[in-house]
Amino acid sequence: MTIAKGDKLPDVTLVKVTEGGPEKVSSAEYFAGKKVALFAVPGAFTPTCSAKHLPGYVEKAAELKAKGVDEIACTAVNDAFVLGAWNKAGGSDDITMLADGNGEFAAALGLDADFSGFGMGKRSQRYSLIVNDGVVEEVNVEGPGEFKVSSAEHMLGQL
């Protein structure tokens, strides 16, 4: 079953990228008490993710925060080291990277995908969520090969 508006996020361990190195964090703790703009990509350093998805959130970070977002987070089925390198290469300190290395968060949301045909294995679908104190307010899941509803621009219109 796919996560829906009004659902509480499942509690899964993620790995937060920090200056001091990877830090395990439960999703319940991370999303508690704040409004988070979360976006998910199939993989760091992949074409659409690097050319459009991450840069859009970097560019619109101040606007998202001005509309009440406390934190902007990105998740992907990559390890924390890859996400940290990706954020250094094209991200910003405004984006918190949450590694879902085993795909457990994506699967718990019902938003996992099999990209084995592309040699990428099990990954996450491309999506975005607005999460307020652990409860989903908006769900935006892209169709295969699309990039529209999970963009920062689309999310700004929802806030």
Which residue ranges of the chain lie beneath pLDDT 50? none
How far apart CA 44 and CA 79 sit, in angstroms, is 10
CATH class of the domain at 13-158:
alpha beta
With contact defined as beta carbons under 8 Å apart, do 72 and 94 qualify?
A: yes
How far apart CA 98 and CA 13 sit, in angstroms, is 10
Q: Supply 26's token pair.
A: 């439960």
Kindly list the catalytic residues.
49
pLDDT of amino acid 46: 76
Q: 148: helix, coil or strand? A: coil
Q: Supply 87's token pair.
A: 């954020």
Task: List the domain boundaries for the chain.
Answer: 13-158
Residue at 63: amino acid letter: E
